[in-house]
Structures are given as structure tokens and as C-alpha cells.
Structure 1
Amino acid sequence: MKNRLRGVKLSLLAAAIVFAAINFAAPEGAAQKEKYKPALPPAIPADLWEMLIPQDNPMTEAKVALGRDLYFDKRLSVDNTVSCATCHDPKTAFAESKIVAEGIGGKKGARNSPTVLNAMFNVEQFWDGRAKTLEEQAKGPLTNPIEMGMPSHDAVVERVKQVPEYAKRFQEVFGGPVNIDNIARAIASFERTQLSGDSPFDRFNAGDKGAINEQAQRGFELFKGKGRCITCHEFNASSPFFTDFKYHNIGVGMKASGNFESLARQVQQMAQDRRLTAESLDRLSLSQGFSELGRFLVTREPKDIGAFKTPPLRDIELTAPYMHDGSQKTLREVIDFYNKGGETNPNLDGGIRKLDLTDQEISDLEAFLKTLTSDSVRKLINEQ
């Protein structure tokens, strides 16, 4: 247990070092110096939040406001129909209720949209971890032909420049004209304000034993014990996100059509031919077949075929459907999938096995997972 906790702390520390090391030498406008002061949920350590703010992208009120407007602006897509919020909507806990993301012209990707809530704490972004930072992640969907469809980042910049208010605000916030790096910085800054950590479970964990009922308390014991959930969905005071930030093959998607070894060889060949760019990788990740290679697309290590990032569990009640492909409609289906031992395949994680949970135990575990819904997130949804 101590080794696992130490691993999570080291993962978060490594992420902080990456954020601090990346330096685009962004000029500062006058408004950029007005520091943003967050209202952190009780479960979020203030020192951790502060540590993970990149040195080249300090948080300011004006920058967050600019990022918010860009996040909801459909003009950043080629046909003015899709924004970041289309697939990461506050109405659905900054995720999406569709099985897989839909972009311009109703085009469908191959992966379910993960929540933006607490995304700043992810060691890497996307299901396969192909982006190291929120800033890097923000650039991908803009030019993906399935998502927002802009022909290039230069085209995105020109589109934003055409809005006089944006041109003025970028000058005020960044001390210079619109560019793609600062567009990404602004969006990432807004995303860093979307936090969750004020759930009934948090009150229970802080000592209020009446905050969750007896069934949920039994579920928590199952989560830590027989259910073995905590093996990957780690939780502790310094990393209260219910994830180990690692990648695992649990068999989801392994029944999908396609020869995974053949697809993997194609990716290896693309890398050898120097054709595996950030843009081509982004497109492969949403292509049928290739998408199921998971973490392999990034590492190109055979052991990572079909491995995907452990998602955090906060607010999981509100972000159905589940798994990277949206294949599980309910929390009970997810628990049943694990109870049966996942889906057998050559790369199945060694820790996946049948759990022999009873129907009552499944209900108890489901009840516990629902206590991870933050009051602030539920209130936000009700206000939409």
C-alpha cells in the first residue's frame, strides 16, 4: 500500500516538474499579473493545486475569463457548430452523455468524452495519454477532422483574430497578438478552475460518519477489499482522485473487429517512416480499429496494446456511459464487467480476475460510488 501511495505522489510530482519545465516565454500583459484565487473544494490540497500551475501560464482572472469564452465558442470549429463544451458540457459534469464524441457534421469518434473536472491533476491527458499538459490537449481537437475540423492551427488563429473583442483581450492578457499557444493557455486556465472534491464521501472521510449511509459504508469496505477497486483507483489525502494515473488493459474493446497485431505493425511502420506526428497520432486515436490500440499509440510497446488510462471516479454517477468506448451504460454494468473478470485477451492486465461479488455487494459498491458526487457539481448541473 505504501508503495502505491508513494507512486501516486511521484506521478503528481513528475507532472509538476513537466509543467514547470515547459517554457514558451509567454509575454505578460498588465491583466495577466492579476492572480487568480481559487475556491478549492475541501478534498483538494492547496499546495498540490499551486504546484501544478505551469510557470509559463500563471492563473489570472482575466485569462480564466478569456479561456471560458473560448471554451464555449463554436466559432473555433470549421462550421461554427462545435465547441469544447459540445463534448465536455457542464450539463453532464463536463463530460458527455453520448457513447462516443460527435463532432462537425455529426461525425463520430471512437472514444467516450472524459470529464474536464479535476483534469489538471492528470499526469497526462486523453485516454491514451498522448498529451502531457492541458495546453497541449487543448490544441488537438481544434484540427482533428472528426472533432472541430479546422484545417490548421493558423486557421484557428485567423478565426479568433477576426473577433475584435478577442484581439483586444489577448493583448491585455498576454501582451501580444493572438497565437495558438496563448489560445491553448487560456482554455487550459479555465479548465483548471473546474474542480471537484466536496462530496458526501469527503465529509465521511473527514470524520462525519453520518454523511453516507450504512450501505455505502459497506460499499467502501468492498472498494478497498474484496472488490479490489482501490488497486487501480487509488485514494489518499495527497491524491484524492481515485486513480493511479496509469494505463491498464481490462479487456474493454478487445472484441472489436480488427487484427490488433496488424494495426500495431502499421503504427510501428509509420513511426519508422517518421510519419507518426502529433497530428497523425491524434487522428489515429479516433479512427476505428486504431483507437483500440490505446496506450500503444504513444509508447509503441506491445504490452500497452489495449491499455487505457485509469479514469478518476469523482462524480462518476453523473458521467455515464462508461469506459473509453462508452460501452457500459450504467455503474452496475461496469461493476458486473469487473466481477466477471474483464474480457480475456493476450494483453489482459495480470491483476484482473473474477471477484465473485454477490448482487447485494454489487449494490453496496454502487451506493458507495454515488457518494463521490460533489455537491457543487450537482448544483452546477441543476443551474444549467
Structure 2
Amino acid sequence: MRWKAAIAVVPLLLWAVQSLAQPAGLEAFKRPAAVPFPEAAPYSREIATLGKMLFFDPRLSGGRNISCSSCHNPSFGWESPAPKAIGAANKPVRRHAPTILNAAWITPLFRGGHADSLEEQAIQSITAPDEMNTTFDGIKARLTAVHEYKTWFERLFPGRGIRKKTILTALATYERTIVSGVASFDRWASGDATAVPEAAKRGFALFNGRANCVSCHSGWMFTDNQLYDIGMQTTDLGGGPTPPDPKRNYRFKTPGLRNITLRAPYMHDGSLPSLRDVVRHYARGGAAKAARTPDIEGFAVTEEEITDLIAFLQTLTDTESNVPSPILPAN
């Protein structure tokens, strides 16, 4: 097999730290030194590369018309530029596709937080009728008919070959390598006072101060991985369990903010087209028509301050990542 789309990400995420003193208040946003891989599925470059091929291969959908990358496109921050991505039935799915950027650190997964692992998330998305609409038996049959896939599954998973568990291991291993690159914010956090503009520094102070965005968007990924009712006008009950618990209705996952400028439109339903609309929503304390008490509080902000907040958010988008599409094996 020709591994032309080699995985560029390695388990250790290290970068040169400048000798300048770190700006105050940024230690809490320091990037981790390594990607957390499960003990049962440690990092393997070849398995991750195989997983990347599967991630981009439409043979994983029932109609062979979409792939995982159709909804999680690297060009759009590993989301979709549509309010709701188009599934295998050529119809919009239920929600705006969440990013899988930095997925190794995300738990639970999905907008509603109803999957505890990447493997479980893949099962639900692959078999959902409105998403990829297929079965693992069907995938196994299709991949087994491809000589290269059959050869490499047997080599990388001796004695097991192509089966549900090995397909999921390969996919999840690749997805854990999808890590946001170093952004200008990281260079600022490492001590380069010139890495971000003054407007972004003012925005960061507002983010951590009066706007209190940091109460949910914390840590190096800028998320606490919790579910909240943010006052959206929606009939979607979000993360509520079955049977429903009214206390959990309308709650959705706090998304990380890395590469956020690439990921429009925003919110679980893709209803807000710009970051300015998002900030205004939070400043209002949610939608007036939501007719319930959300978990957020409004805050006073001027249009100039919104511009500063956006300037800060722009510093969280890396400009160095390049994700070439793999060359898939022919039938």
C-alpha cells in the first residue's frame, strides 16, 4: 500500500518555548505535552494512517456517497459549512456537525453528550439511518473485497483482520491524531508579546472578566466538556436522557474554541451565522423567546468590545495545519 497521505501528527505535541516571561493569566491555557491514547489502543502510525483512509472513504456509508469527512471537513475546522450536514439519504441531519478537532480530549461526545468514546460515537454515526446508514457487516464485506484493505488489516491486526472492532480502532486512532496546531495565542502564551494584536489582548481580558466566557470555555481547548442550556430558541431537547429528565432538557455540549473562525455557522442547530451573532446571543442572556431560565447570564458589551472578543478568538486558529486527502485503494 502506498502511504502517500502520511500522518503528520505524532503523539508528542511539543513546540519551542521562548525565553520571555509568560504573560499573566495564561498558564491555565497551556497546551498538553502528549495526546492521551487508551492503553488498549496505543498510538500506531500505520493504524492511524489506515484509519485516515477509512475516515475519507465513502465505502463506510450505505450508499457509498458520503464519508466521515463529509460532515467533519478539515477545511472547515472539522465541521460542515452548512447549518446541518447532509446525510446518506441526501437530507439534512438533526444537528450541526460538531468538530472532532482535539477529539482525544473530548468526553462525552456529540452535541447532546450521548457517547463516552470515539469508538461509540463512530458506531452511532455509521449506523444512524439519517447519517451514514449502513451496517458493520456491510462495511466488512465491502472492505474485504478490496485487496489492499484486506492485506493491511491482516498485517496490522493479526488473527483478526477486518471486523467491527478493528475498523473502530483504526478510525478512533486516526481521530485522536486530529489536534489543533500552534496558534498565535500559543505563541503569546509562551512569551511572545508581539504574537497577537492589542485588540486581542483586550478581548482576552473581557473573555476572562466581565463576559465570563471562561466559566465554560476553560482550559487549553477552551471547553469544560459540560452540557448547558444556553437559551437557544429550539424544540431540540438536547442532552436529556431516556426517559427524559426535565432538568437536563435543552442542554448541549460546550464546544472547544480552537480554530473557531473556520467553523461557521454556530450553535447546535447552525442557526447563528457569525461570531458576532454568537457574542450578542450570550450578551443578551439567551433568546428572549426561549421562555425558560438558561444557565447563562447576560453582560453589558459594546460593539467595539465585541470586535475585541472576536480578535481574541481569531488568535485561536492555527495557520500551519495542512491535511492532504489520502489516496484510497481501488476495488
Fold in common (TM above 0.5): yes
Whether the 8 Å contact between 2:77 and 2:260 is mirrored in structure 1 is: no
Whether the 8 Å contact between 2:12 and 2:33 is mirrored in structure 1 is: no
Aligned to 1:40: 13
Query: For each residue in 1:163-216, what CA deviation from the matched residue of structure 2 results, as whole angstroms up to 9, or x when unmatched?
Result: 221111111111122111111110111111110141111111111111111111
Alignment counterpart, residue 125 of structure 1, candidates 100, 109, 130: 109
Fraction of identical pairs, as percent: 38
Alignment counterpart, residue 242 of structure 1, candidates 222, 229, 235: 222
CA gap 1:365/1:298 in 2 versus in 1, 3 angstroms:
farther
The aligned runs of 1:180-195 (5 Å cut-off) are 180-195=164-179
Post-superposition shift, 1:347? 5.2
CA gap 1:251/1:299 in 2 versus in 1, 3 angstroms:
farther
CA distance in 2, matches of 1:89, 1:39: 24
CA distance in 1, matches of 2:242, 2:68: 23
Residue type at the aligned position of 1:143: T
Aligned to 1:92: 76
The aligned runs of 1:263-342 (5 Å cut-off) are 292-297=236-241, 300-342=244-286
Whether the 8 Å contact between 1:41 and 1:196 is mirrored in structure 2 is: no
CA gap 1:184/1:322 in 2 versus in 1, 3 angstroms:
same
Aligned to 1:162: 145
Post-superposition shift, 1:41? 5.4
Alignment counterpart, residue 115 of structure 1, candidates 70, 88, 99: 99
Aligned to 1:78: 62
CA gap 1:366/1:340 in 2 versus in 1, 3 angstroms:
same
The aligned runs of 1:359-374 (5 Å cut-off) are 359-374=303-318
CA distance in 1, matches of 2:107, 2:126: 22
CA distance in 1, matches of 2:152, 2:267: 39
Post-superposition shift, 1:37? 4.1
Residue type at the aligned position of 1:46: A
Aligned to 1:63: 47
The aligned runs of 1:195-214 (5 Å cut-off) are 195-214=179-198
CA distance in 2, matches of 1:71, 1:191: 8
Whether the 8 Å contact between 2:231 and 2:285 is mirrored in structure 1 is: no
Aligned to 2:213: 229
CA distance in 2, matches of 1:244, 1:76: 32
| Count of residues in Structure 1 that have an aligned counterpart in Structure 2 | 300
Post-superposition shift, 1:353? 2.1
Where is the helix percentage greater, Structure 1 or Structure 2?
Answer: 1
CA distance in 1, matches of 2:104, 2:239: 20
CA distance in 2, matches of 1:298, 1:40: 39
CA distance in 2, matches of 1:159, 1:358: 56
Give the unaligned 5+ runs of structure 1: 1-35, 257-291
Aligned to 2:118: 134
CA distance in 1, matches of 2:280, 2:323: 30
CA gap 1:174/1:299 in 2 versus in 1, 3 angstroms:
farther
Residue type at the aligned position of 1:333: D
Segment of structure 1 superposing worse, 319-328 or 353-362: 353-362
Residue type at the aligned position of 2:149: Y
Residue type at the aligned position of 1:40: L
CA distance in 1, matches of 2:242, 2:311: 36
Counterpart of 1:167 in 2: which secondary structure? helix
CA distance in 1, matches of 2:39, 2:215: 33
Hey, which bits of structure 1, 4+ residues long, moved more than 4 A? 344-347
Alignment counterpart, residue 356 of structure 1, candidates 300, 311, 319: 300
Residue type at the aligned position of 1:294: G
Post-superposition shift, 1:349? 3.3
Query: For each residue in 1:122-166, what CA deviation from the matched residue of structure 2 results, as whole angstroms up to 9, or x when unmatched?
Result: 02111111111111111222111111111x322222222222211
Whether the 8 Å contact between 2:286 and 2:294 is mirrored in structure 1 is: no
CA distance in 1, matches of 2:128, 2:53: 21
Whether the 8 Å contact between 1:129 and 1:298 is mirrored in structure 2 is: no
CA distance in 2, matches of 1:80, 1:105: 11
CA distance in 2, matches of 1:327, 1:85: 22
Residue type at the aligned position of 1:252: M
Aligned to 1:268: none
Structure with the larger RCO, 1 or 2 (CA within 8 Å, 6+ apart) = 2
